[in-house]
Structure 1
Amino acid sequence: MTSCQPAETPRNAQHLPFLDGMRAVAALTVLGNHIYAQVWTPSFQKFPPPQLHVLTQFLVIGHLAVSVFIVISGFCLMLPVLRNDGVLPKGAWHFLKRRARRIVPPYYASLLLCLLMIATVIGEPTRTLWDYPIGYTLRDVVAHVILVQNFYATSRISYVFWSIALECQIYLFFPLLVRLTRSRGIFVAVALTLLVGYGLQLGLEGTRIARGYVHFLGLFGLGMLGATIGRGVGEPWERLRERVPWTGLALLFAAITAALSLSWGWEKSVARFPYLDLPAGLTGMCLMVACCRQNPGLPGVIFTWKPLVFIGGFSYSLYLCHAPLLQWIWQTFLMRSSLSDVAQFGVLLGAGGPALIGLAYVFYLAFERPFLNTRRT
């Protein structure tokens, strides 16, 4: 069961559309989270009316969508390894260069966009979620340039950038995880990512290390495991992939996540994110394996829906640039309006969301697509 060969697929089947669909769902969930927080910012004691109290769960599921993004990343990066007999194609240095080319230029473009917009049109406090990004210092800028802002400036310049730094840091460990997988097996490698990640996160609670969400290393490992189960060949992997009820397991882990979050309430859930991230990550892993089956069922139908696949193709750009654009849209069209908070939320969700998707696509064409690697997963 430690075979690292890919499942046999047609030559043109290296791109898996369901991954784009899952990226889209995750990105749109994050967008919904931030639209909620744009109107009802908890730190300013702004909340929806009691009959819409369930919307406070946006404060939880937005973060959990980022957790699923990390699982997807581990899944995707493991696929070339599986296709290359368990080793990184062309070695670790080639891998890191390709990742840097793919991730860093669009990120720097969005970083510059945020700084320019703060300097010109969205730099004043408005008692919204955007009040945090505008209070940055030179140290915060340096932290963002060298990609350590998850430890030092989590919400400065843009409140979404912390996860970009975290993912880049995880990339540095991926070559070691590949070697460990080849020598000790995928289960040992994934167990180590969970033990180290969660050990540091919980053992160093309250420190800068824990502030960096280092337990996401374990979620990345779950993605690696999902890829190996979903795309590995040989009778053991095929039996595991086809006989285990992966969709049912995904529903179970999603139900556990929801039950914990609803019973804790949003404040305790935010404080206990690491405990929710694990079942949320397992949900994402199980869904990806389900989509790899000969009959993927409902997950395959949902995540290969063409509009989702399209949005997923530029979900990175949507994630990077939506925060300042959301503030600009709200500040320009809604801040001085007579609309109620509920109406503003509806307008942002129904009209602002599609507008942000369109603007993100323009950003993608200008700053992401030129740096795409030739092969996509």
Structure 2
Amino acid sequence: MPQITSPREAGPYSRHVPSLDGLRGMAVLAVMASHLFPGTTRGTWLQPIGATLIFGANGVDLFFVLSGFLITGILFDSISDSGYFRKFYARRTLRIFPLYYGVLFLLFLLTPLIGFHWHRMNWALLFYLQNTNIFGTFYTFQLGHGISLDHFWSLAVEEQFYLVWPLAVFFIRDLRKLLWVCCSVSFVALLLRFLLIFHHVNYNFVNRSTFSRADSLLLGAVLALLLRSRLHDAVLASAKKIFFAIVAVIVALNLSRFLIERHSEWLFAFDSSYLAIRYTLVALGSAALIAWCLRPSSRTRIFFEGRTLRFFGKYSYGLYVLHYAAAGFFIATFRSWILHFTSSKLIGVVVAGFLTFLVAIVLAYASYNLYEKQFLRMKRYFDYDRSGAVKTPSPAAH
């Protein structure tokens, strides 16, 4: 059975790991590609590329697993700190709230000028409840003029996780018991998805509810705990094989769908089952990829330590928060001009996507250096007491 390791053994994963910055950069680029180039290849010979872009949405799953991994490491390693709760929540607040609420406040100020449409459901955004139906949201946050905050649902999932998980780690403490809780709740989340899908519950709830997506966060937590156990070396050694095995399973499941008769009752059963299990498979693959990136001197680790991916990883939170709204506004405002100039819908969408991508980079860079940094500097007042204090890069949502 896994045993708790000494702080020295656990320490390396409580500090800044450059390869995880690169992994986060890849995740945000994947999400942006799926959002900025919608329907780019529909009905064209480029359709396979379009299908690939759709999988970019899995970047959100990678963000969840990264968050579960990093946050659990922070919590477990600082469990004896006298300011455990105060420091954790203060540091999370300083990292996440300024940009999140800053965007909401800016949009509210611009409402008289631009004419955004605010509805009852928008109140959910103030309390990170946009992934629930408590305000009758139905998961649609279209403000008009191309501005959409639909992607904020993933931020709600993470914030709700942050409210509960520190309490669980603090009161359970034992590594083996925490592993049991993570695996048990992950299984319940998988089972819940099966039940919801086969009972034809709104798929947005299945996709965006914290209850049905908990396994993505908790499988990241499992990895963090295993790397603080005697299974550390075995986990790192097997990460590459596990990653490719899971990729092979996902590819095989997608290909096997074409073998089922189109209108067969088996097709519904297959699609429903795949939708339920897909999140777990992607989360397991993401956890394996993270472990692979932690292997010393591995080519994968070196690749993700590259400056380009690390750049996008550094600004991933701002890119995620800002890119969708920027894309909608830019495309809604200049779409007709771009289509007229390019004389092609395909080229027009691609041009608009790349221009929006550049605008999002500028906005995220400016936001981080001119605005967010002022709050991040205050994190020094909430440093952890233990040696080798946590310096993990903050997870971005997705």
Give TM-score scaled by structure 2 length.
Answer: 0.77
In structure 1, runs of 5+ residues without a counterpart are 41-46, 124-133
| 2:105 is the alignment partner of 1:112 | yes
| 2:17 is the alignment partner of 1:16 | yes
Per-residue deviation at 1:183?
Answer: 6.2
Q: Distance in 1 between matches of 2:168 and 2:215?
A: 11
- AA in 1 matched with 2:102: A
Moved more, 4-13 or 102-111: 4-13
Q: Describe how 1:1-377 pairs up with structure 2 within 5 A.
A: 1-3=2-4, 5-6=6-7, 8=9, 14-37=15-38, 48-57=42-51, 60-84=54-78, 90-115=83-108, 120-121=113-114, 136-137=118-119, 139-152=120-133, 153=137, 154-157=139-142, 158-178=149-169, 179-180=171-172, 182=174, 184-205=176-197, 206=201, 210=206, 212-213=208-209, 214-230=211-227, 232=228, 236-244=230-238, 246-261=239-254, 264=257, 273-295=275-297, 297-337=298-338, 338=340, 339=342, 340-372=344-376, 373-374=379-380, 376-377=391-392
Per-residue deviation at 1:8?
Answer: 4.1
Does the CA-based 8 Å contact 1:26-1:66 persist in structure 2? Answer: yes
Q: Deviations over 1:17-41 (max 9, x none)?
A: 111111111111111011122x55x
Does the CA-based 8 Å contact 2:13-2:73 persist in structure 1? Answer: no
Moved more, 75-84 or 365-374: 365-374
Per-residue deviation at 1:286?
Answer: 0.7
Per-residue deviation at 1:212?
Answer: 3.6
Per-residue deviation at 1:204?
Answer: 4.2
Q: Deviations over 1:215-254 (max 9, x none)?
A: 2211111111222334x26xx234323432x122112223
Q: Distance in 2 between matches of 1:270 and 1:140?
A: 29
Calculate the aligned-residue CA RMSD, in Å: 3.2
Q: Distance in 1 between matches of 2:113 and 2:11?
A: 51
- AA in 2 matched with 1:306: R
Per-residue deviation at 1:66?
Answer: 0.6
Per-residue deviation at 1:317?
Answer: 0.8
Q: Secondary structure at the match of 2:3?
A: coil
Moved more, 139-148 or 347-356: 347-356
In structure 2, runs of 5+ residues without a counterpart are 143-148, 259-266, 381-389, 393-398
Q: Secondary structure at the match of 2:140?
A: coil
Q: Are the structure 2 counterparts of residues 346 and 63 from structure 1 closer, same or farther at C-alpha, using a change threshold of 3 Å? A: closer
- AA in 2 matched with 1:253: I
Q: Distance in 2 between matches of 1:371 and 1:301?
A: 31
Q: Distance in 1 between matches of 2:12 and 2:175?
A: 28
Does the CA-based 8 Å contact 1:261-1:276 persist in structure 2? Answer: no
- AA in 2 matched with 1:354: L
Larger Rg: 2
Percent identical pairs in the alignment equals 25
Q: Distance in 1 between matches of 2:81 and 2:255?
A: 42
Match of 1:44 in 2: none
Q: Deviations over 1:46-100 (max 9, x none)?
A: x62331212332564233111110100011112223433x557623354234323
Q: Distance in 2 between matches of 1:66 and 1:346?
A: 22
Q: Distance in 1 between matches of 2:276 and 2:75?
A: 28
Does the CA-based 8 Å contact 2:124-2:130 persist in structure 1? Answer: yes
Q: Distance in 2 between matches of 1:216 and 1:312?
A: 23
Q: Distance in 2 between matches of 1:175 and 1:248?
A: 32
- AA in 1 matched with 2:97: V
Q: Distance in 2 between matches of 1:97 and 1:65?
A: 27
Per-residue deviation at 1:147?
Answer: 0.9
Does the CA-based 8 Å contact 1:197-1:218 persist in structure 2? Answer: yes
Q: Distance in 2 between matches of 1:27 and 1:198?
A: 25
Per-residue deviation at 1:15?
Answer: 0.7
Give TM-score scaled by structure 1 length.
Answer: 0.81
Per-residue deviation at 1:4?
Answer: 5.2
Does the CA-based 8 Å contact 2:190-2:277 persist in structure 1? Answer: no
Q: Which has the higher contact order (CA 8 A, sep 6+)?
A: 2
Does the CA-based 8 Å contact 1:81-1:88 persist in structure 2? Answer: no
Q: Are the structure 2 counterparts of residues 192 and 345 from structure 1 closer, same or farther at C-alpha, using a change threshold of 3 Å? A: same
Match of 2:385 in 1: none
Q: Distance in 2 between matches of 1:200 and 1:12?
A: 32
Q: Distance in 2 between matches of 1:294 and 1:204?
A: 42
Q: Distance in 2 between matches of 1:57 and 1:117?
A: 36
